[in-house]
Amino acid sequence: MAAFPRRAQASEHELASQEALASRLAALLGRRYVPDYRPSRYRGGPAPYYVPDRSIVGAARAAVLGIEGMGDIYGGVVPHAFVATKAISHGLVGPDARRPAGWVPALASALRDAVLEGYTAFCPEDAFAAGLRLLARGAVRVKPPDGTGGRGQVVARDQEALRAAVAAQCGQVMARQGLVLEEDLDEVETYSIGWSRVGEMDISYVGTQSLTDDNQGRRVYGGSELRVARGGVDALRALDLGEEERHALDLACRYDAAVSAAYPQLIASRRNYDVAIGRSVEGGARAGVLEQSWRAGGASIAELAAMQAFALSPSLNEVRAETRERYGADEPPPIAQRLVFHGIDRAVGPISKSGGIVEAEDGGA
């Protein structure tokens, strides 16, 4: 079991999260966790089960690591780097718009009913043109495709703000990763929909996300509370879900099917989709998938807590699990069983991360 690959610039709380996942997965699978794993130190030996901090890009890279399928990784392998980001959720502003090699234009049409109105741009000129189209309807949310926790996003309400938001982006990064411009909703509830397979265990879940203030007073991701079913999506559908939960699940499944058809090379043992349900500027109901995650993410600690509960209790068919992130030096430390990280992080300052089971429902009851 290896927490690898990992970014060289990963901060303390990010490293702690990745290591917590790897050690808990090792316990779940009955395997040995190898701290500070590097392939060069284990040449000739069997490939480990990988817990990367990002999606692996390219079949060649996966082959070098010994990843042959989703049984070798908690996360995913994508054919192109942009496939792992928000960039694939929207189409281009026009047929002559700039695009990277490997871009599948037909995906935008397949996703149209599963996402919000928006565009992806790979140069400032296309980004500004796309933003102007969206401004005709209302505010525009400008989103770096690889951003997490809502960081880096800007809402533009007029041309001047849009121009400033686009100008603030790095052109080289935009050319490589793209920039997402999307309609901005009011009264938003964000649902987490996902399914994972580890070893012989499948789980699926629906949940909601919360926001919290970070150390600079910005509203960022504060955690997820998940309703987790033992089994795949059919097991989740069999639960007594609410109308919005079912709608979010349907949108996530449509998104997953469309992307899998467009990029059949995709391998993913962990699939997570953020779905927004809110109101448009005209006041009408709007819903759509915001992004996908085929890597360890904010809800992963809750997912593994559910898997551990199912492994310990064969009659258990549903649990509620949560992850929690809070900022500030006054935040009390979590209990040891739920602790992921509690301390000073060089990137974000004081932060506390935890997760575990909230409630379990025995299928035999």
Domain residue spans in the chain?
A: 12-81, 85-114+117-184, 187-362
The distance from CA 363 to its chain's CA centroid, rounded to whole angstroms, is 29
What is the pTM (predicted TM-score) of this model? 0.92
| Residue 137, beta-bridge partner list | none
Query: Taking Cα atoms as reference points, which of 210, 134, 137, 209 lies closest to residue 165?
Result: 134
84-275-326 Cα angle (round to 5): 85
Asked whether the predicted pLDDT for residue 47 surpasses 50, the reply is yes
* pLDDT tens for each residue of 261-288: 999 999 999 999 999 999 998 889 999 9
| Token pair of 242 as six digits | 């609410």
Give residue for tokens 């790095």.
170
Query: Taking Cα atoms as reference points, which of 272, 270, 299 lies closest to residue 75?
Result: 270
DSSP H helical ranges for the chain: 12-29, 59-65, 106-111, 124-135, 159-167, 171-177, 233-237, 243-262, 300-312
Q: Are 277 and 246 in contact (CB under 8 A)?
A: no
Query: Taking Cα atoms as reference points, which of 278, 273, 361 lies closest to residue 319?
Result: 361
pLDDT tier for residue 298 given thresholds of 50, 70 and 90: confident
Q: Are 301 and 323 in contact (CB under 8 A)?
A: yes
* pLDDT tens for each residue of 169-220: 999 999 999 999 999 999 999 999 999 999 999 999 999 999 999 999 998 9
Q: Are 360 and 313 in contact (CB under 8 A)?
A: yes
Q: H or E segment at 318?
A: strand 316-327
Give residue for tokens 């692996």.
56
Q: Are 159 and 217 in contact (CB under 8 A)?
A: no
Query: Taking Cα atoms as reference points, which of 214, 140, 146 lies closest to residue 178?
Result: 146
| Token pair of 303 as six digits | 């997912």
| Token pair of 319 as six digits | 């649990």
CATH ID of 85-114+117-184, from 3.30.1490.20, 3.30.1330.10, 1.10.260.40, 3.20.20.10:
3.30.1490.20
Q: H or E segment at 230?
A: strand 219-230
325-232-117 Cα angle (round to 5): 65
Phi, psi for residue 229 in degrees, rounded to 5: -105, 145
Give residue for tokens 């397979």.
197
Q: What pLDDT sits at residue 283?
A: 86
**Mean predicted confidence (pLDDT) in 28-41:** 85
Strands 219-230 and 56-57: unpaired
**Mean predicted confidence (pLDDT) in 323-352:** 96
> What are the angstrom distances between the C-alpha of 76 and each of 116, 309, 327?
24, 24, 30
Residue 63, Cβ density class (10 Å: 0-12 exposed, 13-18 middle, ≥19 buried)? exposed
Distance CA 323, CA 210 (A): 10
pLDDT tier for residue 362 given thresholds of 50, 70 and 90: low
Distance CA 362, CA 316 (A): 4
> What are the angstrom distances between the C-alpha of 219 and each of 132, 149, 150, 151, 223?
26, 9, 8, 9, 12
| Residue 350, beta-bridge partner list | 344
% the chain with pLDDT above 90: 84
Mean of all residue pLDDT scores within the chain: 93
Strands 179-183 and 118-121: antiparallel
pLDDT tier for residue 37 given thresholds of 50, 70 and 90: confident
* pLDDT tens for each residue of 97-155: 999 999 999 999 999 999 999 999 999 999 999 999 999 999 999 999 877 666 788 99
Give residue for tokens 């695009």.
99
CATH ID of 187-362, from 3.30.470, 3.40.50, 3.40.140, 1.20.120:
3.30.470
